[in-house]
Structure 1
Amino acid sequence: MSDRDASTPRVILARHGETEWTINGRYTGITELELTPRGEQQVLSTGKLLVGTGKLIDPVQLERVFVSPRRRARKTFELLFGTESELAALNKVEFTEDIAEWGYGAYEGLFGEEIVARRNEQGLDTERPWDIWKDGCEGGESSEQATQRLDSLINRIRDIQRPYMHGEKPVDIVLVAHGHILRAFAKRWLGVPMGSPLAMMLPPGAIGVLSYEEHDINAPAFLVGIALPLEEK
């Protein structure tokens, strides 16, 4: 099997930078938090290395940028692409709840151990430990609800990219969002049920890339390793 051709459309996942709740491990969904100074530097460093003409994320190659409406994601978008990005002027930026963080409901702002203790007090999880991928959140989003909104966005993306699988037009797409929902997106991109195990890590400020095998819209794939664009001499 050949390696991915550079002309195959990609979906690039960009997680927002560090926040105070990222540091201490609180579940952060709808709560509006600023990036820490270190979080801003994480994103700026990523942008300096990977975003720009001839770089891995080339604005000229982008057809759409989907951004979570949460403040930390909006700030990350600005740090990656600049406050005066031409992408907005070209109507290529869309702020959408489709990639807002998983709705944690009653678990918003709690630590993992606090959630487990709360559920134990309610007599839940007697047969197996709580698994957010399967069980969702009390008063928040279920696995089925998260699947539905992500699948809807994936269908939109495939409709955009389907006609250009051999590079007829650059149609890369960027998602600027959150660690949990971006990992959920990757699961659904690959057709993995939300409740099925698929170990993934995406640190604050990190970039991930999805694409297709053999230019085939029906063969979505991870790009496990990325070769950076060649430097012009």
Structure 2
Amino acid sequence: MSDQNALTPRVLIVRHGETEWSKSGRSTSFTEVDLTAAGAAQVSSAAAVLVGSGKLIDPCHVAHVFVSPRKRAETTLDLLLPPSSDISKEKITFTEDITEWNYGDYEGKTNEEIRRLREDKGWDKEQEWTVWSDGLEEVTDRLDKLIVHIKSIQEPLMDGTEPADIVLVSHIFHGLK
């Protein structure tokens, strides 16, 4: 195969479509929240532009797909890469490794509500709370594990002779907004 036609391994990250909670800025980890009609339309519109032969996500170049097991990510996968996309079920793994982090008592609350709650308890006097204040180590550990797994899939394919794209369908952590 010539270098011109070599397949460069990529990792493509797709965030789930809009939910009522993401629309209102509510922290969502384990609560199952459906996509809104607008969220489903977002994914369908993106799929029409991004997925297909010769497009950014070309199903024949996909080596594996990792999906958060949350309903909003599963629905996004179904809209993005329907069975007609020719990506076999064997190439799809549902994994907790790319779920949103656990917001615990902050589940369903906005960042402003969390800050008020923490202020009422007398916390964060030295520095204002951010989503990065809690739980980052647990998320980092999960993502490090996934990176090792992705590397094990892509490493033998680095010569560019076989498909090596990895697609992640996840949450891209609410706090990144």
Q: TM-score, normalised by structure 2?
A: 0.90
Q: Distance in 2 between matches of 1:64 and 1:144?
A: 26
Cross-structure match for 1:103: 102
1:166 to 156, 159, 163: 159
Q: Residue 65 of structure 2 contacts residue 168 of structure 2 at CA under 8 Å; is this kept in 1?
A: yes
Q: Residue 67 of structure 2 contacts residue 95 of structure 2 at CA under 8 Å; is this kept in 1?
A: yes
The number of aligned residues is 173
Q: Residue 7 of structure 2 contacts residue 164 of structure 2 at CA under 8 Å; is this kept in 1?
A: no
Between stretches 109-118 and 79-88, larger displacement belongs to 79-88
Amino acid corresponding to residue 114 of structure 1 in structure 2: E
Change beyond 3 A, Cα 1:6–1:122: farther
Deviation, structure 1 residue 85: 4.9
Q: Residue 12 of structure 2 contacts residue 165 of structure 2 at CA under 8 Å; is this kept in 1?
A: yes
Q: Distance in 2 between matches of 1:145 and 1:27?
A: 17
Q: Distance in 2 between matches of 1:7 and 1:179?
A: 26
* Higher relative contact order, structure no. (Cα contacts within 8 Å, ≥ 6 residues apart): 2
Cross-structure match for 1:82: 82
Structure 2 residue 47 is matched with structure 1 residue 54 = no
1:166-205 alignment, distance < 5 Å: 166-180=159-173
Runs of 4+ displaced beyond 2 Å:
83-89, 163-166
Deviation, structure 1 residue 170: 1.3
Instruction: Tell me which protein shows more helix as a share of its residues.
Output: 2
CA RMSD of aligned residues (A): 1.9
1:121-132 alignment, distance < 5 Å: 121-132=120-131
Provide the secondary structure at the position in 2 that maps to 1:179: coil
Deviation, structure 1 residue 163: 2.3
- Give structure 1 stretches of 5+ with no counterpart: 137-141, 184-199, 202-233
Q: Distance in 1 between matches of 2:17 and 2:36?
A: 8
1:136-147 alignment, distance < 5 Å: 136=134, 142-147=135-140
Deviation, structure 1 residue 82: 1.0
Structure 2 residue 110 is matched with structure 1 residue 117 = no
User: Per-residue displacement from partner, 1:66-110 (whole Å, max 9, x unpaired)?
Assistant: 000000100000001114554244x00000100011111110000
1:16-27 alignment, distance < 5 Å: 16-27=16-27
Deviation, structure 1 residue 164: 2.3
Q: Residue 52 of structure 2 contacts residue 85 of structure 2 at CA under 8 Å; is this kept in 1?
A: no
Q: Residue 59 of structure 2 contacts residue 85 of structure 2 at CA under 8 Å; is this kept in 1?
A: no
- Give structure 2 stretches of 5+ with no counterpart: none
Cross-structure match for 2:66: 66
Q: Distance in 2 between matches of 1:28 and 1:38?
A: 18
Change beyond 3 A, Cα 1:61–1:129: same
Change beyond 3 A, Cα 1:6–1:109: farther
1:156 to 131, 146, 149: 149
Give identity over the alignment, percent: 50
Q: Distance in 1 between matches of 2:99 and 2:166?
A: 17
Cross-structure match for 1:14: 14
